[in-house]
Amino acid sequence: MVPFNRRELSVEQEEVFTEHIEQCPDCREELEICYIIEYGLEDAEDVAVDDAEAAALIEQFDFKGLVELKINESNRRIDVYKIYSKVMMTFVFVADIFVILSIIWWIMSQL
C-alpha cells in the first residue's frame, strides 16, 4: 500500500493491486486506515495542494471517498497506459511492415 500511495508500483503491479482492492473489503479498509494515518493527522493543505478533490475529502474526513478517488485515478492511469501501449504496438507493427516491404523492394530492384 505504501508503494501504491507513492506511485512506485509498475503498471502491472498497480493493476493487480487496484483490482484486488476493488473487491476486497478488508484491504479497502486497511487502505482507508493508511490514508487516515497519512493525511488525517496533518493539515490537508500541506499534503494535497495539487489535488483539490483529494484535499476536500481529507478536510471532510471522508477517507472512504478518498480510497474511491485514488482507485479511480489509478484505473484512469492504467487505462491511459493501456491505450498508449496499444498505439505504440500498432506503430511498431506498421513500422515493421514498412521495413519488410522496403527489403522486398530492395531485393526486387537488385534482380
Q: Please report, as ranges, the residues that interact with Zn ion according to CB under 5 A.
A: 24, 26-27
Closest approach, Cβ 101 to Zn ion, in A, equals 51
Least distance CB 24 / Zn ion (angstroms): 3
Least distance between Zn ion and beta carbon 36 (Å): 18
Helix (H, G, I), strand (E, B) or coil at 107: helix
Cβ-based nearer residue to Zn ion, 26 or 46? 26
Closest contact distance (angstroms) between CB of 26 and Zn ion is: 5
Nearer of residues 34 and 47 to Zn ion, judged by Cβ: 34
In the complex with Zn ion, the residue whose CB is nearer, 25 or 111, is 25
Q: Tell me whether residue 18 or residue 57 sits nearer to Zn ion (CB atom).
A: 18
Residue with cell 508503494: 3
Assess contact for 44 and 59: CB atoms under 8 A: yes
CA distance 104 to 34: 59
Q: Which one-letter amino acid corresponds to residue 41?
A: L
Q: Is 69 exposed, middle or buried (0-12, 13-18, 19+ CB in 10 A)?
A: middle
